[in-house]
Amino acid sequence: MLRLLTLLVALIILSPAWASAQSLGDILASRSDDLAAGKTATIKEIAADVAATRDPQTRDVLEGWIDGRLHYRRSDNLIVFADKTDSGYDLSDPITGDALGSVGKKDTKKVKNSTPIKAILRPGLAALDLSSVDPEKRLSAAEQISKKPTVQSLALLEQALATETVAGVQSALETAALIATFAVSDAADKLAALETMGDRLEPSVRGAVQRVANDKNEAPEITEAAQARLASIETRVALNNFGNNILFGLSQASVLLLSAIGLAITFGVMRVINMAHGEFVMIGAYTTFVVQTSLPVSSGVGLLISIPIAFAVAFIAGVILERLVIRFLYGRPLETLLATFGVSLVLQQSFRLIFTPQNRPIVTPDWLAGNLSLNPILGITTPRLFVFGIALAVFFGLLLFLQRSRFGLEMRAVTQNRAIAKTMGINSSRVDYLTFGLGSGIAGLAGAVLSQVLKTNPDMGTDLIIPSFMVIVVGGVGSLWGALVGAGLVGMATKLVEPLFPNNTLLATAIILVAVIGFIQFRPRGLFAQKGRSAEL
Amino acid sequence: MKKFLIAAGALVSALSANAALAEDDTIKVGVLHSLSGTMAISETTLKDTVLMMIDEQNKAGGLLGKQLEAVVVDPASDWPLFAEKARELIEIEGVDVMFGCWTSVSRKSVLPVIEELASVPLFYPVQYEGEESSKFVFYTGAAPNQQAIPAVDYYLEELGVESFALLGTDYVYPRTTNTILEQYLLDAGIAAEDIFVNYTPFGHSDWQTIVSTVKDLSASGKKVGVISTINGDANVPFYKELANQGISAEDIPVVAFSVGEEELSGLDTGPLVGHLAAWNYFQSAEADVNDEFVETWQSFIGNDERVTNDPMEATYIGFKLWAQAVEAAGSETYADWRPEIYGMSVPNLTGGEATMLPNHHLTKPVLIGEIQDDGQFDIVSQTTEVPGDAWTDYLAASATRMSDWADSEVDCGNYDTETGECFGQNY
């Protein structure tokens, strides 16, 4: 109780509301010329003054300044809030809230709010937000304060902790208080915190402990305790990092599977060396872009709609390619290779001419942005999780389709023995173009999904074709399961080798390629080698 | 039959007379930028910029009373092809000057050709790693001391970064720049274990491991900052991963040396607000001459959404300087106008003057910009003009070297001030 009382007293004495002589309105009015002049050093001083005020509008001004809403009017340097409209800005007075009319785009300019200035504004805003009714604001305020803790902010955090009821905010407050303790408290508190904190994984907490351990001014028992704590966290960090690498490997594998699975049909089943496979993926990605731009608002459903559309577009493109080029070249792999390579160049350059060579921005919808973390180290980004889910769905869907549907049966019959299949009344030429269309369509679908994690430009196909062939060859030509295992092996191996060479990712890539070459020497038919007569085709 | 022969003879002579007329009446400008392949993404814009400058110049009456004629070739992002195409431009097309190249490896491949033919210079418009000064190349982009070093200073002084991650694509520009930066950081008192370096292949697409490694660097208890020399389209998945792993510019800032307005137009910039780039020009620079440039560009290309960028400004400055030097010398022959160009100035688009130095580099202001959600940069720091230094002072091997093509005593691109000698090759 006594402690709380002293805290309160300290708060009152230190609270900037009493320390600052000027009101917010005075500062904005008297220093508007300096704010407009844009000298970072001066603006930093003003930012500190503004952050120290406790007027009713302080919060709004701080937030507006950080968000770039605080402008100055070019004609007279008046400080205003500017809200974007179609033709320019609507201005209002930041103190009274009175509307000041609308102006054109070039009549006002944002008050400088670069990162070093934000770093001064944020703690001021955070101190106010700590008592906000919105739990999200309290949460981010706690995180913000932990970045630059002071004696006052530690007191604020402890005060907030006493009344906090939301669990998530509570733990954020505790973490922030812990970091602040290591930064500003006395030796006894630090020692106590080191003993009771448990093994925390947050990089920020570990950083705070590390700073204590490195501090030469600390008493030896404290630095030793900090080192002991770090050592005990170490194992868990290493374990979680390894878990992360496994997750990364799974994600990489799903990207590879998705980009290769169409090829597993065109190359694996039909034996067409389709060098334009990557361009079908590209067609899918660009379809997503077109769908996204043609929707009135970025409603977030664009991605979902574009998946079937991308499949359809690439399916049609695949059928056209099969009818016009490939059907004349069956059984002549070299000519097919050259012809499809030519097609891939034509497609690339036409997309370059239509869509410019520049990458096209694919927006990640809000429901898909962010990451899913199991703890502060272990986690995966949600777009990658999405890719993972789709890859598995496509794989099993395709498997089911080939095993259970009438068309799947015909397709397998034609690949096994064309002549007998024909005598059974199967239209083999129709099966050919539909199979090729299916493989291409799946490549297009993959493109729509992969645009979330990869680039979307005319070169994307070129970068995908080699890993795709690698996956198919390692897994075993002609087997869907081979594609799955091949993708899993290559992806996992890449992500487990990469951390061994943190400074040279290129070397890690090279090692994987060498390993694949070695593997093919021993198992030239891949993991799932086809047996029987069809293998000799 | 006789009649026919006469007619044919007349035709031939008329044709050759025409050809001779064309030869005399135009000044040929070679444009050596990739229009296909991986570098088309950046270089196509520069080809259009040169065409725009030629168009403007011709509208204003040409040069020395002659019209300018562009000769465009496509080296297709294929480095050896750059050398062949340069030879074709000089020997077959007979151009008087060349504008071109983007990557350092393409410039290095052109160098032996222009040194051998020794008649036509190249204006190279992109920031590069330095350590070079050819008599036949004008480097109108930034040398390391005009981009990388000031950006690191901003990190050290303004953002208080204590731990550095240098991420780059594996080729000559990032490797050399990072070597210089590592030495500079060590000199500035940053411990070797606080400098993390990583190189990735061109077009690298899976950034999970690297981004999470960078994230974990902050467990050292130090403020972490990333310096990116990642080039080309590998930036797209890199920034996507950065955004999705929730790395905000206020926690771990990333400053890029190869990402400008053009590259941002291909990214969803919302999650990238506050990350940085260092250049000598941003489209958002407030100057009348810049407004005019942007407007001319957008009307030339017929799209008022198209952005301008730093290498375009460098192309603009190079072209203006060349035109001015040719005008002053009264001749389009390189040997004639070369002495004129030293010390010659044209206005920068961001204000101030770009002066051609005897080491074939320019004076340039250094600008640092924060990415905004509209894909433009908010300029947060701008220096006065910094003279470009061909040989960096931060590496022991090149600290004593200098370049001076104006001084007849030195007349060399790699003069060693200690031994008083030029060494090795010409460039």
B contacts of A359 (beta carbons < 8 Å): 41, 233, 236, 263, 266-267
| CATH of segment(s) B145-284+370-387 | 3.40.50.2300
Spans of all domains in chain B: 8-143+289-365, 145-284+370-387
CB contact under 8 A, B206 and A364: no
- Please state the domain count of chain A: 3
* Distance in angstroms (rounded) separating the CA atoms of residues B286 and A36: 14
Q: Are A271 and A333 in contact (CB under 8 A)?
A: yes
* Distance from C-alpha of B145 to C-alpha of B130, rounded to nearest angstrom: 9
Return the exposure string of B209-241: e unless at least 16 CB atoms fall within 10 Å of the residue's CB, then b.
bbbbbbbbbbbbbbbbbbbbbbbbbbbbbbbbb
Distance from CA of A63 to the nearest CA of B (A): 15
To the nearest whole angstrom, how far is the Cα of A123 from the nearest Cα of chain B? 13
A144 and A123 share one domain: no
Range of the structural domain that residue A389 is part of:
240-366+379-536
Residues A205 and A268 in one domain: no
Q: Look at B208 and A119 and tell me if their CB atoms are within 8 Å.
A: no
* One domain for residues A275 and A206: no
Same-domain pairing of A291 and A399: yes
Mark which residues 135-154 of A lie under 8 Å from B by CB.
147
**B219/A207 CB distance under 8 A:** yes
Q: Indicate yes or no: CB of B244 within 8 angstroms of CB of A381.
A: yes
Residue B254 to residue B242: CA distance in whole angstroms: 10
Q: Which of A95, A129, A163 is the last residue of a domain?
A: A129
Widest CA span in chain A: 98
The residues in A 360-379 lying below 8 A from B, measured between CB atoms, are 360-364, 369-371, 377
Quick one: pLDDT at residue A195? 87
Q: Which of B34, B41, B156 to mutate to test the interface with A (most CBs of A within 10 A)?
A: B41
Under DSSP, the state recorded for A84 is E
CA–CA separation, A208 vs B398, rounded Å? 41
Name the closest residue on chain A to residue B275, using Cα atoms.
A115
What's the token pair of residue A226? 């900090």
Alpha helices in A15-166 (DSSP H): 16-19, 24-30, 32-37, 40-52, 58-67, 115-129, 135-147, 151-163
Q: Which chain B residue has its CA at the smallest distance from A359's CA?
A: B266
Partners of residue A356 in chain B, C-beta under 8 Å: 44
User: Can you list the residues of chain B whose pLDDT is less than 50?
Assistant: 1, 9-23
Residue pair A287/A447 in contact (Cβ under 8 Å)? The answer is yes
Q: What is the pLDDT of residues B57-95, one digit of tens each?
A: 999 999 999 999 999 999 998 999 999 999 999 999 999
* Interchain CB contact of B383 with A (< 8 Å): no
A331: β partners: none
In a domain, A233, yes or no: no
Q: Which residues contact A210 (CB under 8 A, 6 or more apart)?
A: A226, A230, B219, B220, B221
In three-state secondary structure terms, B409 is: coil
Cβ neighbours for A459, distance < 8 A, ≥ 6 positions apart: A348, B37, B38, B41, B203, B233
H-type alpha helices, B276-407 = 288-301, 310-329, 334-341, 396-399
Answer whether residue A351 is part of any domain. yes
CB contact under 8 A, B233 and A245: no
pLDDT at site A66:
93
A61 and A178 both lie in a single domain: no
**Looking at the domain assignment, is residue A225 inside a domain?**
no
- Do A189 and A320 fall within a single domain? no
pLDDT attached to residue A308:
96
What residues contact residue B22 under an 8 Å CB cut-off, 6+ apart? none
Of A118, A209, A371, the CB nearest to B244: A371
| Tens digit of pLDDT at every position of chain A (537 positions) | 555 555 555 544 444 444 445 889 899 999 999 999 888 889 999 999 999 888 889 999 999 999 999 999 999 999 999 999 888 899 999 999 899 999 988 899 999 999 999 999 998 999 899 888 899 999 989 988 888 888 888 888 988 888 888 888 998 999 999 999 998 888 888 889 988 888 888 888 999 999 999 888 888 889 999 999 999 998 899 999 999 999 999 999 999 999 999 999 988 888 889 999 999 999 999 999 999 988 866 667 888 999 999 999 999 999 999 999 999 998 888 999 999 999 999 999 999 889 988 888 888 888 898 889 888 889 899 999 999 999 999 999 999 999 999 999 999 888 888 889 999 999 999 999 999 999 999 999 999 999 999 999 898 999 899 999 999 999 988 788 999 999 999 999 999 999 999 999 999 999 999 999 999 999 888 888 776 555 544
- Same domain assignment for residues A154 and A273: no
- Interface touch A495/B209, C-beta < 8 Å: yes
B-facing residues of A in 177-216 (CB < 8 A) are 203-204, 206-211, 214
Please report, to the nearest 10 degrees, the dihedral formed by the alpha carbons of residues A198, A203, A208, A211 taken in order.
Answer: 120
Buried (b) or exposed (e) across A479-514, using 16+ Cβ within 10 A? bbebbbbbbbbbbbbbbbbbbebeebbbbbbebbee
Is the Cβ pair B267, A361 closer than 8 Å?
Answer: yes
Residue B402: the pLDDT is: 87
In a domain, A407, yes or no: yes
Q: How far is Cα A497 from Cα B58, in angstroms, rounded to an integer?
A: 58
Same domain, A258 and A403: yes
**A486 and A393 both lie in a single domain:** yes
pLDDT for the residue A18: 47
Q: Which backbone phi and psi does A58 adopt, to 5 degrees?
A: -55, -45
Please, which residues have CB within 8 angstroms of residue A390's CB and are 6 or more apart in sequence? A258, A307, A449
Question: Rounded distance, CA A511 to CA A264, Å?
Answer: 24
List CB contacts of B150: < 8 A, sequence separation 6 or more: B278, B366, B368, B383, B386
pTM: 0.86
Cβ contact (<8 Å) for A363 and B205?
Answer: no
Question: Homologous superfamily of B8-143+289-365 in CATH?
Answer: Response regulator (3.40.50.2300)
A-B contacts (CB, under 8 Å): 160
SS3 B406: coil
Q: Looking at the domain assignment, is residue A227 inside a domain?
A: no
Residue A374 lies in a domain: no
Interface of B with A in 339-378 (CB under 8 A): 370, 372, 378
Q: Which token pair is A88?
A: 């320019």
| CATH number of the domain to which A396 belongs | 1.10.3470
Helix, strand or coil for residue B277?
strand
Decide: A256 and A487 in contact? Cβ < 8 Å: yes
CB-CB neighbours of B344 under 10 Å: 17
Q: How many CB atoms lie within 10 A of CB A34?
A: 14
Same domain, A463 and A333: yes
Nearest CB to B221 within list A110, A211, A495: A211
Q: Distance from B104 to chain A by nearest Cα, in Å?
A: 19
Q: Could you tell me if A308 and A436 lie in one domain? A: yes
- Read off the tokens for B325: 């030097």
Structure tokens at B163: 């731990």
A254 within some domain: yes
Contact A157, A130 (CB under 8 A): yes
Q: Is the Cβ pair B244, A369 closer than 8 Å?
A: yes
Mutation for testing the B interface, residue in A204, A381, A501 having most B CBs under 10 Å: A381
B191 Cβ under 8 Å from any chain A Cβ: no
Q: What is the pLDDT of residue A33?
A: 92
Residue carrying the six token digits 């039909």: A270
- Domain assignment present for A19: yes
User: Quick one: which of B401, B184, B224, B97 has its CA closest to A210?
Assistant: B224
Looking at the fold, whether A32 and A109 belong to one and the same domain comes out as: yes
Check CB contact of A75 with chain B, cutoff 8 Å.
no
Name the phi and psi angles at B27, rounded to 5: -105, 125
